[in-house]
Amino acid sequence: MLKIGPYEFSSRLLLGTGKYPNFDVQKEAVEASETEVLTFAVRRMNIFEANQPNFLEKLDLKKYKLLPNTAGASTAEEAVRIARLSRASGLCDMIKVEVIGCSKTLLPDPIETIRAAEILLDEGFIVLPYTSDDVVLARKLEELGCHAVMPCASPIGSGQGIINPNNLQFITEQAAVPIIVDAGIGSPADAALAMELGADGVLLNTAVSSADDPVKMAKAMKLAIEAGRLGYEAGRMPKKRYATASSPEEGTVFS
C-alpha cells in the first residue's frame, strides 16, 4: 500500500491528465492504468463556452483522489493562491506544489517550493512538492512535514528517463516519507527502474498521453511499476564482475 498523509492507495501509479488525443482514449487509458490518483491543473474557465466538455465531468469521482498541481506558478505566493482555489472546489485537499524556476527546462525553484510548502502545510493541505533530485532538498522538505516528496527523473515532458539514478537512490534510501518519481519518465523500463531504486510511486503523464497507443502504454506502465516494486521488495542479487555457473560443476559426464 502507498500511504500519503491520511490516504492509502493500492496502485503506485499517479497519472496526469494533460495532452491526450481525446476524452474517450483518455478515459480508457485511465482505466487501464488502474491509477487511483489523477493530477489536474487549475485554469481560468472560458465562461462564454460553458458547454465545452471537461474531463473531470466524465469521471466517477468516488474512484479517484484528485491531485491538483500549482503549474503556472513561479513564486510561492502564486502556488499558494492556486492551491487555495483548488481546495475551495470541495473536491480535494492534496496539492502538488510545482513552482517553476526556469522556463526552458521547467525545473523547479527549490527556494520558492520550500516557502510554498511551509505555508500550505500550515493551512492543513496534504502537500506533495515536485523537486529536483537533490537529497538535501528532499530531506528538508520531509523535515518541514511534507507528506511525500516528488523528485524529477529528468525535465518535464522530455521522456529522457532517469538521468541520475544515483541521486534518486540517495533520496529513496534516506527518506521516511513516500518518494514519488515525477516527470521525465518515458518508457515502462524507466518506471520499473524508478521502483527498483526504491521509489514508492511514479507520477507520469506524457509517457502515456503521447504514446502511439495511450491505452496500451497505460497498462504497460501499471505492470512495469508493479514489477519494479516487486523486484525492489525481493532484493536484487549483487553484481559480480565474472561469471558464476548456475549448473553444478560436479557430476558432468566428462569426469
Q: How many residues bind another protein (CB under 8 A)?
A: 40
With CB under 8 A as the contact rule, which of the stretches 13-21, 111-119, 159-167, 188-196 interacts with another protein? 13-21
Shortest reach from residue 192's CB to another protein, in Å: 20
By beta-carbon proximity to another protein, the closer residue of 123 and 226 is 123
With CB under 8 A as the contact rule, which of the stretches 107-115, 137-145, 166-174, 200-208 interacts with another protein? 200-208
Residues 50-89 that bind another protein (CB under 8 A): 50-51, 54-57, 66, 68-69, 71, 81, 84-86, 88-89
Cβ atoms of residues 14 and 37 within 8 Å? yes
Cβ atoms of residues 197 and 175 within 8 Å? no
Residues 6+ apart with CB under 8 A from 82: 42, 68, 70, 72, 73
Name 150's bridge partners: 130
Query: Nearest CA to 188 among 178, 199, 169, 202?
Result: 202
237 binds another protein per the rule CB under 8 A:
no
- Which member of 58, 65, 96, 240 is catalytic? 96
With CB under 8 A as the contact rule, which of the stretches 11-19, 140-148, 193-201, 229-237 interacts with another protein? 11-19
The verdict on whether 65 is a catalytic residue reads no
By beta-carbon proximity to another protein, the closer residue of 135 and 199 is 199
Please tell me the distance from the alpha carbon of residue 97 to that of residue 83, in angstroms, as a whole number.
Answer: 8
Q: Angle CA(92)–CA(58)–CA(63) in degrees, nearest 5?
A: 50
Cell numbers describing residue 168: 534518486
